[in-house]
Amino acid sequence: MSTTINQTPQDHRLPALLLGEGSKAYSDKYGKYINPADPAKYKHIQGKDQVRVYVDGVFDMFHFGHARYILQAKNMFPNTYVIAGVAAGPTTLELKGQTVMTEEERCESVRQCRYVDEVICPAPWCISMEFLKEHNIDFVVQNDAPYPMGDNPDIYKPIKDAGMFLPVMRTQSVSTSDYITRIISEYDRYLQRNLERGYSRQDLGITFLKLKQLEVQRRVEGVQKTINGYIADFMEYFYEPISHRIVEFISPQGSPTTSDVSGDEDEEDGSKRKKKKSNC
Mean pLDDT value across residues 162-180: 93
Percent of the chain with pLDDT over 90: 61
Whether the pLDDT of residue 232 is over 80: the answer is: no
- Within 8 A by CB and 6+ apart from 155, the residues are 125, 126, 127, 147, 148, 149
- Nearest CA to 170 out of 96, 68, 269 is that of 68
CA dist 187 and 192 (Å) reads: 9
Q: Name the band, by pLDDT with cuts 50, 70 and 90, for residue 2.
A: very low
Q: Could you read off the pLDDT of 101-125 as tens digits, one per residue?
A: 999 999 999 999 999 999 999 999 9
Whether the pLDDT of residue 48 is over 60: the answer is: yes
CA dist 8 and 15 (Å) reads: 10
**Secondary element (H or E) of residue 73:** helix 64-74
Mean pLDDT value across residues 241-253: 62
- Nearest CA to 213 out of 201, 225, 223, 202 is that of 201
CA dist 192 and 201 (Å) reads: 10
Provide the total of helices (H) and of strands (E) in the chain, helices listed first. 12, 5
Give the amino acid at 88: A
> 0.95 cut: is pTM over it?
no
Q: Name the band, by pLDDT with cuts 50, 70 and 90, for residue 148.
A: very high
Q: What are the sequence ranges of the domains in the chain?
A: 49-173, 186-253
Mean pLDDT value across residues 197-208: 94
CATH numeric code, 49-173: 3.40.50.620
pLDDT attached to residue 252: 63
